[in-house]
Amino acid sequence: MDPERSITERIVQPERTVGPERTIEGVACTFCGCVCDDIRVTVRQNEVIGVERACTLGRAYLMRPQHGEGVTTPRVNGKEVSLECALAEASSILSRSKYPLIFGLSNTTIEAQKVAVRLAELIGASIDSTSSVCHGPGTLAKQYIGEPTSSLGEVMNRADLVIFWGSNPAESHPRHMSRYSVMRPGLYVPRGRKDRTVVVVDVRKTPSARAADLFLRIEPWSDYRILSNLIRLVKLTPVHELTPVHGSHVHWSQIEALKECSDESGEDREGRLPTPDTLQRLASLMTSCRYGALFYGVGLTMSRGGMMNVTAALRLVRELNNFTRFVIIPMRGHGNVAGIDNVLAWRTGYPFAVNFSRGFPRFGPGEFSAVDLLCRGEPDAVVVIAADPVSSLPVSAAEHLKRVPTVVIDPYVSPTTEIASVVLPCAKAGISASGTYYRMDNVPVPLKRLVASVYPSDEEILGSIVARIESAMTGRREVDAR
Amino acid sequence: MTNWSVDHCNEHTKSIRIVLITGRTIAQGSFAGHGKGWFDYTREVSTIVLSEEDMQSLKVSPGQAVRVKGQRGEAICICKKGDLPQGVGFLPYGRTANILAGSDTAATGMPIYKGLVVAVEA
Ligand code: SF4
């Protein structure tokens, strides 16, 4: 595709390459935070016709037809219009608005995210990502405690104790266990699963719990209490007693003792509350492993006191580093939700819920976060990029979206595009648009453009809106000067 | 484990109070990947999983409709039996969960999606 062709020209004169089937190796799946980049994709005539190695979720996402059921034409108030006209209307809505909100951004490239931050600065908007409704409280906790962390590659090569707390990777990140954390043999755990001990702590017995060596069923709202108890137990452990035994990564005696202890107390392996004895043994398992990894999910962040839950988990891991190497990694949900946290932090100093209404960035979870702003009915215009807030936010927040002008940039039809004032169809990141995604461990993964698209990328659309608003502002300043 | 349901069981209306956990399921995730307009997606996100004991107290069987009342709204769900402790229910993420979730974020930006106290009526 000729990059010189303007984005408005491209949608009028679609370019479709016709050719034989092509198989592309090393494709990154952008559905969840694992961003698996070993997928094999077969394409024919600009459509993905085969996907190998991906999980059910990844396959469904990558195979979703690009143009058939998607948003095919830009729309303004439900009427099909040219891209030029839709861009002009979007720019005019945003130039007029006094307190706009930019939301979404977790399923788009970091290149587009950078332009979105520029747009927020230009129009004095609040900018928030879906991070605030998934791991936002955890991010706040990290600001207080810090995050002893590593890459998933390090976990794969070293971890002999893997704990999933409030997370169900078998359903939310189906390849996490097989590709990074549990099954795969690593440098210091050559037998893969056999060299690792897996513990799942959750309120319900999830499919992931069935794959674990030990499942601790806990009461709803008890995470903070249990994590605090573990911190106390770890702190009481004399360091010299628990020097890890080098050359051996097997904790079978300990895990068996732990299971027995659960059985004795009448709380079988699927037991309810872990007893003090269970916690004591879990604490010694943690302090004596060679390399431990705690993956926490939205089970910690989405329940009451989410921030305090994660604070306790981070403190626990910090304490554990007095004994052994222990890391903590959040199980980020959307493909590039880690990316928007990073981009916002580089650009503004804050990871989410940032407001530019005074011309400089201010951080305000609860004040400038999307759910709070929308529930209070404050924004007078909303830009939604690669998200579906009508389906994914509480109803009272979604209601406000129906009352104000909304500009939606999305490759597909969704309940949000249905209510939007301006719909701008775009190319799908990782399929018809290249760029970069950040994996859940903040490792950047480059995305390939697999097929040509008639649609511009999110980055191009946002860039065009920014250019229009900037030129209108310059024009206005010149008139004022005269 | 606190026995929420028995504490709050109302014999006349066949109503119980449970702690509702919302979360991802493979079906919900793949339907979301395909496009949310699908009938199957709507069915998946409106299916509440209850423990055997709670289904008995409500006198409902799998596939029957129940009314779930949250702080902010209520929704009709299809019930399904699952491996859950008594007094705990599970609902996949989606529009139904968003009807039941409140909007208070306790100054974190995050409404509560796990551990919602809801009433379930047969
Ligand atoms: S685990 Fe996530 S990134 Fe990997 S293939 Fe499945 S959906 Fe895609």
Task: Report d(CA A382, CA B47) in Å as an integer.
Answer: 32
Give the residue with greater pLDDT, A423 vs A242: A423
Strands in A47-52's sheet, in edge-to-edge order, are: A22-27, A39-44, A47-52
| A60-75: average pLDDT | 74
Specify burial of residue B50 (Cβ count, 10 A radius: 0-12, 13-18, 19+).
buried
Question: Is pLDDT above 70 for B114?
Answer: yes
Give the residue with greater pLDDT, A176 vs A480: A176
Nearest CA to ligand 1 atom 4: A36
Question: Is pLDDT above 80 for A433?
Answer: yes
DSSP code, position A242:
G
Question: Is pLDDT above 70 for A431?
Answer: yes
The DSSP bridge partners found for residue A39 are: A27
DSSP code, position A58:
H
Q: Per residue in A265-275, pLDDT tens?
A: 434 444 456 77
Give the model's pLDDT for residue A33.
Answer: 96
| B95-99: average pLDDT | 88
Q: How is residue B64 written in tokens?
A: 């029957």
Write down the CATH number for the domain with range A3-16+72-134+336-444+454-481.
3.40.50.740
CB pairs under 8 A between A and B: 151
ipTM over the 0.85 cut-off: no
- How does the average pLDDT of chain A come out, rounded? 88
Give the model's pLDDT for residue B91.
Answer: 93
| A314-327: average pLDDT | 95
Q: Which H or E run includes A279?
A: helix A276-288
Specify the range with the lowest mean pLDDT, choosing from A202-216, A328-342, A358-372, B3-17. Answer: B3-17
Question: Is pLDDT above 90 for A14?
Answer: no
Nearest CA to ligand 1 atom 3: A35
Question: Is pLDDT above 50 for B7?
Answer: no
**Collapsed DSSP state (helix, strand, coil) of residue A225:** helix
Q: Choose among A57, A168, A392: nearest Cβ to B30.
A: A57
Q: Residue A40's CB: how many other CB atoms inside 10 A? A: 14
Q: Is the CB of A440 under 6 A from ligand 1?
A: no
| Contacts of residue A39, Cβ cutoff 8 Å, sequence gap at least 6 | A26, A27, A28, A29, A51, A52, A53, A54, A58, A62
Task: Choose the most confident range, by mean pLDDT, from A93-102, A231-240, A253-262, B75-84.
Answer: A93-102
Per the listing, tokens 């903070």 go with A224
Q: Is the CB of A214 under 6 A from ligand 1?
A: no
Q: Is the CB of A34 under 6 A from ligand 1?
A: yes
Cβ contact B112–A303 (<8 Å): yes
pLDDT band at B5 (very low <50, low <70, confident <90, very high): very low
Q: Per residue in A46-60, pLDDT tens?
A: 888 999 999 999 998
Q: Choose among A57, A137, A307: nearest Cβ to B33.
A: A57
Give the residue with greater pLDDT, A396 vs B39: A396
Q: Per residue in A118-167, pLDDT tens?
A: 999 999 999 999 998 889 999 999 999 999 999 999 999 999 999 999 99
User: Alpha-carbon dihedral of residues A77, A91, A362, A368, nearest 10 degrees?
Assistant: 0
From 3.40.50.360, 3.90.100.10, 2.40.40.20, 2.120.10.30, which CATH number describes the B24-121 domain?
Answer: 2.40.40.20
User: Alpha-carbon dihedral of residues A372, A378, A381, A384, nearest 10 degrees?
Assistant: 0
DSSP code, position A180:
I
For residues A109 and A436, the answer to whether their CB atoms sit within 8 Å is yes
Q: Which one-letter amino acid corresponds to residue A349?
A: G
Question: Is pLDDT above 70 for A180?
Answer: yes
B 13-32 residues with CB below 8 A of A? 19, 21-26, 29-31
Give the residue with greater pLDDT, A221 vs A90: A90
Give the model's pLDDT for residue A257.
Answer: 55
Q: How is residue B47 written in tokens?
A: 């299916």
How many angstroms separate the Cα of A68 from the Cα of each of A9, A196, A441, A458, B68?
21, 45, 34, 19, 37
Question: Is pLDDT above 60 for A6?
Answer: no
Q: Is the CB of A230 under 6 A from ligand 1?
A: no
Task: Report d(CA A407, CA A93) in Å as an integer.
Answer: 8
pLDDT band at A15 (very low <50, low <70, confident <90, very high): very low
Give the model's pLDDT for residue B80.
Answer: 92
Task: Report d(CA B46, CA B29) in Å as an integer.
Answer: 14
Give the model's pLDDT for residue B32.
Answer: 64
Give the model's pLDDT for residue A271.
Answer: 44
Give the model's pLDDT for residue A273.
Answer: 62
A230 CA: distance to closest CA in chain B (Å): 19
Q: Per residue in A209-243, pLDDT tens?
A: 988 998 888 888 889 999 999 999 999 887 655 44
Q: Is the CB of A315 under 6 A from ligand 1?
A: no
| B95-119: average pLDDT | 87
Q: Choose among B90, B98, B105: nearest Cβ to A204.
A: B90
Chain B residue at shortest CA distance from A397: B103
pLDDT band at A77 (very low <50, low <70, confident <90, very high): very high
| A24-43: average pLDDT | 95
Q: How is residue A223 written in tokens?
A: 């995470």
Task: Report d(CA B112, CA A304) in Å as an integer.
Answer: 6
Query: Following DSSP, what letter does each residue of B56-101 receive, concatenated?
Result: HHHT--TT-EEEEE-SS-EEEEEEEE-S--TTEEEEESSHHHHHHS
Specify the range with the lowest mean pLDDT, choosing from A166-180, A245-259, B50-64, B95-109. Answer: A245-259
Q: Which residues in chain A are contacts of B114 at CB distance < 8 A?
A: 166, 203, 220, 298-299, 302-303
Q: How is residue A41 written in tokens?
A: 């994709």
Q: Is the pTM of this model over 0.90?
A: no
Q: Residue B38's CB: how many other CB atoms inside 10 A? A: 13
What distance lies between CA A270 and its chain's CA centroid? 30
CATH topology assigned to domain A136-330: Dimethylsulfoxide Reductase; domain 2 (3.40.228)
Give the model's pLDDT for residue A182.
Answer: 96
For residues A120 and A251, the answer to whether their CB atoms sit within 8 Å is no
Whole-number Å distance, alpha carbon A237 to ligand 1 midpoint, is 39
Q: In chain A, what are the domain boundaries?
A: 3-16+72-134+336-444+454-481, 136-330
How many angstroms separate the Cα of A223 from the Cα of each of A159, A309, A312?
23, 6, 9
Question: Is pLDDT above 50 for A463?
Answer: yes
Give the model's pLDDT for residue A38.
Answer: 95
Q: Which H or E run includes A338?
A: helix A337-348
How many angstroms separate the Cα of A218 from the Cα of each of A205, A330, B8, B15?
10, 20, 21, 25
Question: Is pLDDT above 90 for A414?
Answer: no
How many angstroms separate the Cα of A21 from the Cα of each of A41, A60, B47?
10, 20, 41
Q: Per residue in A78-89, pLDDT tens?
A: 999 999 999 999
Question: Based on C-alpha coordinates, what's the Rg of chain A?
Answer: 24
Q: How far apart are the first and last CA of chain B?
A: 24
Q: Is the CB of A31 under 6 A from ligand 1?
A: yes
Question: Is pLDDT above 70 for A317?
Answer: yes
| Contacts of residue B19, Cβ cutoff 8 Å, sequence gap at least 6 | A220, B4, B87, B88, B89, B115, B116, B117
Q: Choose among A56, A272, A306: nearest Cβ to B26.
A: A56
Q: Per residue in A291-310, pLDDT tens?
A: 999 999 999 998 888 999 99
B119 CA: distance to closest CA in chain A (Å): 16
Specify the range with the lowest mean pLDDT, choosing from A112-126, A178-192, A277-291, A311-325. Answer: A277-291
**Collapsed DSSP state (helix, strand, coil) of residue A328:** strand
Task: Report d(CA A275, CA B85) in Å as an integer.
Answer: 17
Cβ contact A307–B19 (<8 Å): no
pLDDT band at B18 (very low <50, low <70, confident <90, very high): very high
Give the model's pLDDT for residue B11.
Answer: 55
The verdict on A414 touching B (C-beta cutoff 8 Å) is yes
Q: Per residue in A374-394, pLDDT tens?
A: 999 999 999 999 999 998 899
The verdict on A203 touching B (C-beta cutoff 8 Å) is yes
